[in-house]
Amino acid sequence: MQELLLEVIKPTLEVIKPMLEYVSRIIVPMLQGTVVTLELFFITTVFSIPLGVLLALARISRYTILRDVVGAYIWLLRGTPLLLQVFFVYYGLPNFGITLENFPAACIAFVLNYAAYFAEIFRAGIQSIDKGQYEGAKVLGFTYWQTMWRIILPQTVRRVLPPVSNEEITLVKDTALVYAIGLGELLRATKIAVSRDAVTSPFVVAAVFYLVMTYVLTKVFDKLEQRYSIYE
Amino acid sequence: MIEARNIYKSFGDLQVLKGISLAVKKGEVVAIIGPSGSGKSTLLRCLIYLEVIDRGSIIIEGQPIAYEDENGKTRYVPDKQIRQICKKIGMVFQNFNLFPHKTVLENIIEAPIVVNKVPKQEAVDMAEALLRRVGLIDKRNSYPSQLSGGQKQRVAIARALAMKPDIMLFDEPTSALDPELTGEVLKVMRDLAEDRMTMLVVTHEMGFAREVADRVIFMDGGEIIEEGLPREIFCNPRSERTRSFLKQVL
Ligand SMILES: Nc1ncnc2c1ncn2[C@@H]1O[C@H](COP(=O)(O)OP(=O)(O)OP(=O)(O)O)[C@@H](O)[C@H]1O
Ligand SMILES: [Mg+2]
C-alpha cells in the first residue's frame, strides 16, 4: 500500500518541483507588479467615490445647467472605452501642454471614469429613498443639506453597497488595461515572464493573484453589508 | 396660533382645496373629519409647507409664511424664515417617517442637536423624559424596524415633541395601525390634549374626535362643510353631507 502511494507521489513531485522552483523565481517581479495594480486600485477608489457622490448630488440638483453638464460628463465617460480615455490622458494631453508620467495619467483617467459610474449608482441609490424621509426631516427643521448628509446619504450607503462592490471587482481587473501605456502592473510582469521563458504558467499565477484580490474584496463588502444591515 | 385664510390648492387640473379658512387657538384641540380624498391631508401639508398653496394666506403665531401681496398674488416669505417659523409646528405622519438607520433615541435627539443646537447630553435627557412619557424608555436603543406600528408612532410623536413645538399636527396617526394598537397611540394624544397642547388632528377615529376635540371640522370636496362642538356635529349635524358621512362611519 505504502509503496503504491510512493510510486504515485514520487513522479508527481518530480513534475511539481521544477514548477515550484520556477514560480518562486517569477514571484518577486509579479508581486512588484501587484503593488502597482493595488496602488492604482486604491487611488481610484479613494478619489472616485467622493467625486461620484458630488456628481450624483449635482445630477439631482435643482439647477438644470448643472444637471445637464454632469449628465453630458457621465455620458461621455461611460460612452467611450476606458482604454481610450487612458490613451487620451497619456498621449493626447501633451498636445495641450500637459505631460504626465504613465502612472499619474492612468490614475486620472481611472478616477474620472469610475466617478461617472459611481455617480449613476449613487444617484439611483439616493432616489430610491422614500420621499417620507425628506418630509420627516423637513418638518423637523432640517435644511436640504442637513437632510442629505445626515438622513439620506447614510441610508443610501446600505443600498449601493452591492453595485459598488461589483464596480470595485471590475476595477481590480480593469487595472490590467494600463499595461498598454507601459505601466509595470501585474499583467505586464506576467507577460514579460511568459515571453522571456516561453512558458505559460505565469498566466496561471496571475489568475490566482487576481482571484485572491477579488476574493478579499468580496469578503470586505460582505462584512460591510452585514454591518450596515443591523437596522433592517 | 395657526390661521389659514381662503387657501386654494390644485394638483394639475384637480382642485383639492377650494377656499379653506381655519383658525386654531392656543390650547385648542381641533379634529378634522371627512371622506377619503376630501383634501384633509393636503390641508395639513399646506400648513407646514410640504405643499405650496396657489392662493390665500397662512399665518403661524402671528407670522405670515404665505400672504397675498397688493395685487392679490400669494407669496411666500424666504425659505429660511419659513423654517424658523415652522419649527414651532410638529407633525406626525400616517406612516411615521422615522429614520430607519437611527435608533429610537437617535431619532429623537437628531433634530434638537442639529437644528436647535442643543448640547448632546441635554438632548439625551430630554429624549429619555419623552420616551418615559410615551412608555418606551426600554426601547431607546432599538431600531424602528424592531418596533410595532403603535410603538413607531409613539416614537414619532416623541420625536416631534423634542423640538418643543407649540402646535402639533397629526395626519391620521392611527390609520396605518392594527386596531389593537390604536389605543396606545390615542392615549398618548389624549395625554397631550390634557396638557393643553394645541393640536390639529385629521382622524378617522370618531370616538377620539368626539371625546377629545374641542371643535370638529367636517371637510368634503375640498371645502369645510360644517364645524362646531363635537356634540353639535355628531348629534345634530346641520348639513346633509355631514349626516350621510356620519351614517357611513358610525
Ligand atoms: N401630490 C399629489 N399629486 C396629485 N394629486 C394629489 C396629490 N396629493 C393628493 N392628491 C389628490 O388630492 C385629493 C385629496 O387628497 P388628500 O390626501 O388631501 O385627501 P384626504 O382627505 O387626506 O384623504 P384620505 O382620508 O384618504 O387620506 C385626492 O384626490 C388625491 O388623489
Ligand atoms: Mg389623508
Contact assignment for B50 to A154 by CB distance below 8 Å: no
Number of A–B residue contacts, CB under 8 Å: 59
Q: Which of B11, B91, B218 is the best mutation target for the ligand 1 pocket, counting ligand atoms within 8 Å of the beta carbon and taking the most? A: B11
DSSP assignment of A145-173, as one string?
A: HHIIIIIIHHHHHHHHHHHHHHHHHHHHH
Per residue in A142-182, pLDDT (tens digit) is 999 999 999 999 999 999 999 999 999 999 999 999 999 98
* Whether the predicted pLDDT of A130 surpasses 90: yes
Q: What's the confidence (pLDDT) of residue A19?
A: 78
pTM of the complete model: 0.90
Q: What percent of chain A has pLDDT over 70?
A: 100
Per residue in B28-71, pLDDT (tens digit) is 999 999 999 999 999 999 999 999 999 999 999 999 999 999 88
Partner residue facing A232 (CB), from B111, B116, B145: B145
Which residue CA neighbors atom 28 of ligand 1 most closely? B37
Picking from B163, B90, B103, B172, the residue whose alpha carbon sits closest to that of residue B138 is B103
Q: What percent of chain B has pLDDT over 90?
A: 88
DSSP state of B176: T
Partner residue facing A142 (CB), from B95, B101, B111: B111
Cell reading at B245 = 358621512
Please tell me the distance in Å from A217's CA to the nearest CA on chain B: 25
Rounded to whole angstroms, how far apart are CA atoms B99 and A134? 10
Within 8 A by CB and 6+ apart from B109, the residues are: B120, B123, B124, B126, B127, B162
| CB-CB contact of B4 with B12 (8 Å) | no
Q: Is B9 in the pocket of ligand 1 (CB under 6 A)?
A: no
Per residue in A174-215, pLDDT (tens digit) is 999 999 998 888 888 888 888 888 888 889 889 999 999 999
Within 8 A by CB and 6+ apart from A185, the residues are: A33, A34, A36, A37, A40, A175, A176, A178, A179
Which residue CA neighbors atom 25 of ligand 1 most closely? B36
